Amino acid sequence: MRRNSLFHRFSFWGAIAFIGLALSAIKLTWNVGGAKWGGIWAGGRIGSGFLPLISGGMLILCSLLWIVKMVNEDRKDDVSSKEGDNKGLPARYNVIRYLVILPAVLLIMAKSVEYLGMNFVICVFLFIWFRFVDHFPLKSSVFYTVIIMGVLYLVFTVWLRVPFPKFFDLF
């Protein structure tokens, strides 16, 4: 498959991120056990740092090979390939909207569960989603919210008695 520069940048930084993760693991291996190699092998026993070192090392090696492979592919590729011609390449607008804003909203929502209760937050989320994301009419939004919320409430709260955080100790 022919690669374009945006895809390559994405993959390149991905590979760099993996190397970062692996280096962190190896650094931790040194810290575990308090002494350099003590965390890996001590007194005929394998230490806590053994697997992090092995997996971290493997990750570094594979990520480096990945980068090398990408650089080689870059050379072979047609230089004139334009950014955005790769099939399935997400538009920048969508990336910001659905890969940054949507997860951020979901994270805020998850955090607010602690204060507002699970059922209340889910209820509000469903209504907002139907009304403002899907652009349903008001009546349909309320209808779908009530039906879905009702089923979820019956299954999780009434039947399974999951101890969800509650909205002012009410529901």
**Distance set, CA 44 to CA 36, 38, 41, 47, 134 (Å):** 16, 11, 7, 9, 62
**Distance set, CA 171 to CA 39, 125, 164 (Å):** 49, 16, 9
Separation between Cα atoms, residue 101 and residue 121, nearest integer Å: 18
Could you say whether residue 2 binds other proteins (CB under 8 A)?
A: no
Could you say whether residue 79 binds other proteins (CB under 8 A)?
A: no
Residue 80 CB, shortest distance to other proteins, in Å, is: 24
Residue whose CB is less far from other proteins, 81 or 105:
105
Determine the residue type at 8. H
Interface with other proteins by CB under 8 A: which residues? 10-11, 14-15, 18, 21-22, 24-25, 28, 32-33, 43-52, 54-56, 58-59, 62-63, 65-66, 69, 88, 90, 94-95, 97-99, 102-103, 106-107, 109-111, 113-114, 118, 122, 125-126, 129-130, 134, 136, 144, 148, 152, 155-156, 160-165
